[in-house]
A and B are shown apart, each in its own frame.
Chain A
């Protein structure tokens, strides 16, 4: 089992997303993260999902996704060189001596503090999922108040593109 990043270009129509998600539920595949938004062509949406799958499973997943009428094209980004990013917003308790420590750790991870109260920081962090995980581990459990992650987005390296 390997984590795959599947990037799907699909019709930007009501119901298309539920068909993709329904397919995963129906056929017993897992979705770990999911992110979707319209592209520069507003008739198309780009959906990126991560799923743990063996070679055989990912072949089935891509074939089944391709069968959905609204799916225009898709790629398993993990098959080639690619860049992946995830965005995390994390609200942490920041009081007393902890306040400076949280700021330092955030700087090390190149996080940005985007909201401040006397007792908390809200930090924005982007990177691979591993990096976000590492940052979370570096914050003490007690100080983490809320975590919001966008799910993975990805794109191929070089000039290769996924278009209709």
Chain B
């Protein structure tokens, strides 16, 4: 059998796992590993400027490709810097394997230099973690880490490796296991057929049905099945922020996003439906508004891979635990005859339901209101719409967190899964740029846009340097309202306009900043110049272009659910106007 050092075994195991990129930053505890990495050329390592960015890059890579993202960080500060990105991946169920260096085994527990209890500090935000105690365990531990990260409900796994375990002078037998089994871990492989039958019956009998799907459909690669089933049924459908793109955003059956900043039609259809089919969604508080007033007339069917997500917030009348693609395949087969024998009365009821929905749609809740503003003033929504036009709606779009994120979600309809890359669960500012970089590494020839704001972009702006190093031609769209827009919006609405620390004073000149890193910078201040500038930016295929768009600093995101105590049909539609 082949003899390898611990460090070489680790790199070899990652190669055998099919890893093509590692996002990381070296340091004392991972020096042996980085030396092993130096001696090979099958895996490309991407040197970041901050470990948080490494985790977001791996995360963006994973969201866009469906393959697990891999991160290397050193012990102590390297490990703690990675935590935000690990938590981001955890909240959105993104497969990721984070290899962290640890101080030498004999130093653990002695408060030694750059020591931190990584397994401990990451525990609440990982799917699982390992501290490797013997070099012989490296291959199996890596196999298990990837298996756990990618199966069932995916998530990040941390593998903490003390420096002595990767010592280049100690050699061990290397063999990468074909598969691993864990007696305590066996994710469901199919849904319960009795429950599926019950669901079919409810779907066949529904008079005002609604389909609500989340990130689980994307992570579970079930977009094809979702489209097929939704078309077959002819039912209205909405996606969560995490689920956008699972169903084509430009299709007439799609009612737009739902929830806190969901559309008037999606939120009303949720409130009034008599059957809710929830798929790969978890009834987050940004969806339900007041839980006791959520979907008051509906029976609820909930399909999810994670049993703990079912009946956690809202009780499911029919719970189906299983992989979404497998469950939907089975449901489609059983639904075909049901749809074929639909009675005239049922068809009429569904038609009436659609008429009601079209009525809500006529509210045109996303219409950009320009009453009384200067003709050249750019509304942030128009910035997003212009990006849509300039990219034919086909780009990969990452976002940061705040108003611009909601505008991107609402005004850039996604027709395909894995194109919309955003931090939905944790809401991590600073996610957008590094996530876009991970996507661009995976798809060098695709257009990758990062829609951000001047607050968020500054949280990981140092990565412009990494972009120079690797020639990543990302298009950064900075919707610059010179303030922390979402914070300011809440302060306007709930704190009588007291803008406590939500302004952005002393902003850098983003154009010269981008140029100083070797990139191209454009500023747009006039609405009439928006399309031409974006077209030019997109035409620079091999350059990173930072487009600083000066937008209306007073704009709010609407619709917005009325809280507290509101239901999903209680919405602010524009400033001072509510349902």
Contact = CB atoms under 8 A, between A and B. Distances in A.
Contacts, number: 36
A72 B183 contact: yes
A119 interface: no
Interface stretch (A62-70, A87-95, A97-105): A62-70
A22 B312 CA distance: 19
Contacts of A73: 184
Contact of B184 (A56, A64, A70): A70
Interface string B278-312: 00000000000000000000000000001110011
A26 B120 CA distance: 13
Nearest to A14: B131
A66 B307 contact: yes
A57 to B, nearest CB: 11
A91 to B, nearest CB: 34
- A15, A69, A71: residue with the most chain B Cβ atoms closer than 10 Å: A69
Contacts of A64: 308
Given A14-B131, A15-B119, A15-B131, A69 B185 contact: yes
Nearest to B311: A59
Contact of A72 (B124, B127, B184, B311): B184
B123 interface: yes
A60 interface: yes
Contacts of A10: 184
A60 B314 CA distance: 12
B577 interface: no
A69 B148 contact: yes
Interface in B115-133: 119-120, 123-124, 127-129, 131
Contact of A11 (B148, B184, B306, B307): B184
A159 to B, nearest CB: 23
Interface in A27-68: 56, 59-60, 63-64, 66-67
Interface string B58-91: 0000000000000000000000000000000000
Interface in B194-214: none
A122 to B, nearest CB: 35
Nearest to A11: B184
B182 interface: yes
A15 B183 CA distance: 17
A147 to B, nearest CB: 31
Interface range on chain A (Cβ under 8 Å from partner): 20 to 34
Contacts of B182: 69
A117 interface: no
Contact of B308 (A11, A63, A164): A63
Contacts of B148: 69
Contact of A69 (B120, B128, B311, B312): B128
Contacts of B129: 15
Contacts of A71: 184
B127 to A, nearest CB: 8
Nearest to B123: A22
Contacts of A67: 306, 308
Interface range on chain B (Cβ under 8 Å from partner): 10 to 19
A74 to B, nearest CB: 10
Contact of B124 (A14, A26, A56): A26
Contacts of A63: 307-308, 312
Contacts of B308: 60, 63-64, 66-67
Contacts of B120: 18
Interface in B296-349: 306-308, 311-312
B124 A22 contact: yes
A19 interface: yes
A37 B261 CA distance: 50
Interface in B41-63: none
Interface string B335-377: 0000000000000000000000000000000000000000000
A29 B247 CA distance: 37
A68 to B, nearest CB: 8
B572 to A, nearest CB: 31
Nearest to A10: B184
A26 B241 CA distance: 25
B183 A164 contact: yes
B123 A69 contact: no
A11 B131 CA distance: 15
A64 B123 CA distance: 14
A71 B308 CA distance: 14
Nearest to A70: B184
A164 B124 CA distance: 26
Nearest to B148: A69
Nearest to B125: A26
Contacts of B183: 72, 164
Interface in B124-151: 124, 127-129, 131, 148
- B182, B183, B184, B306: residue with the most chain A Cβ atoms closer than 10 Å: B184
Nearest to A64: B308
B118 to A, nearest CB: 12
B184 A19 contact: no
Interface string A113-144: 00000000000000000000000000000000
Contacts of A56: 311
A15 B126 CA distance: 13
Contacts of B123: 18-19, 22
A162 to B, nearest CB: 13
A14 B117 CA distance: 13
Nearest to A9: B184
Contacts of B184: 10-11, 69-73
A59 B120 CA distance: 26
Nearest to A19: B123
A28 to B, nearest CB: 12
A10 B123 CA distance: 17
Interface string B501-512: 000000000000
A25 to B, nearest CB: 8
Nearest to B153: A67
A10 B185 CA distance: 11
A43 B221 CA distance: 37
A22 B122 CA distance: 11
Nearest to A65: B308
Contacts of B124: 22, 26
- B120, B128, B307, B308: residue with the most chain A Cβ atoms closer than 10 Å: B308
B176 to A, nearest CB: 21
Interface string B152-164: 0000000000000
12 contacts: A15-B119, A15-B129, A15-B131, A26-B124, A60-B308, A63-B307, A63-B308, A64-B308, A67-B306, A70-B184, A71-B184, A164-B183
Given A60-B312, A63-B308, 8 more contacts: A14-B131, A18-B120, A19-B123, A56-B311, A59-B311, A63-B312, A64-B308, A70-B184
